[in-house]
């Protein structure tokens, strides 16, 4: 469904959202441990998220990563940043063009699934799903 990179990115965002009330940032090692991901690869994904301005970073001692407070981020934005719009746009059978006018044989059926998916991705905020991590109601690894 999502790429590995996108899975990591989502978990990163949710993890950092769950720590949004702490006054200090989370470092790479901390993050990689929390989501059980390879450190160096995680660093690459963090970079992308920073470039896309979904995260903030600061270097040096006591540096690290954190979410922008006062900025609501949906899961959709995270997925778009890493995997692009394919998951909610591309034809399930891979047709270059697939539309009402020129549909693949399963077009209508999968438009419904994609709309369902899109709805959930865009209404799910990372702060919302971040709650419950610290309390071990939900898990990231």
Partner DNA sequence: ATAATTAAGGATAAATTTGTCCGGAATTAT
Partner DNA sequence: ATAATTCCGGACAAATTTATCCTTAATTAT
**Interface positions with its own copies (CB under 8 A):** 1-2, 4, 7-8, 10-11, 14, 75, 87, 90, 92-95, 98, 102-107, 109-110, 112-113, 116-117, 120, 124, 129-130, 132-133, 138-141
DSSP-H helix ranges across 36-74: 39-51
The site for DNA, by CB under 7 A, has a size of 29
Task: Kindly calculate the radius of gyration of the chain based on its CA atoms and give it in whole angstroms.
Answer: 17
Rule CB under 7 A: say whether 59 interacts with DNA.
yes
Q: For residues 27 and 25, what is the distance between their CA atoms, to the nearest angstrom?
A: 7
Residues between 4 and 33 with contacts to DNA, criterion CB under 7 A: 4-5, 8, 25-29
Rule CB under 7 A: say whether 91 interacts with DNA.
no
Q: For residues 113 and 115, what is the distance between their CA atoms, to the nearest angstrom?
A: 5
| Residue 31 and residue 46 in contact, taking contact as beta carbons nearer than 8 Å | yes
Residues between 39 and 58 with contacts to DNA, criterion CB under 7 A: 39-41, 43-44, 46-47, 50-51, 57-58
């Amino acid at each position: 469904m999502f790429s590995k990179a996108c899975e990591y990115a989502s978990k990163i965002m949710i993890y950092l959202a769950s720590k949004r009330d702490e006054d200090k940032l989370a470092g790479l090692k901390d993050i990689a441990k929390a989501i059980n991901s390879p450190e160096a690869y995680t660093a690459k994904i963090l970079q992308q998220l920073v470039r896309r301005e979904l995260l903030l970073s600061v270097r040096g001692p006591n540096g690290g990563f954190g979410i922008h407070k006062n900025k609501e981020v949906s899961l959709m934005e995270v997925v778009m940043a890493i995997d692009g719009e394919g998951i909610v746009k591309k034809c399930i059978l891979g047709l270059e063009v697939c539309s009402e006018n020129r549909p693949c044989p399963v077009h209508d059926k999968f438009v419904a699934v994609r709309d369902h998916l899109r709805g959930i991705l865009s209404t799910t905020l990372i702060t919302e799903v971040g709650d419950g991590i610290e309390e071990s109601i939900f898990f990231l690894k």
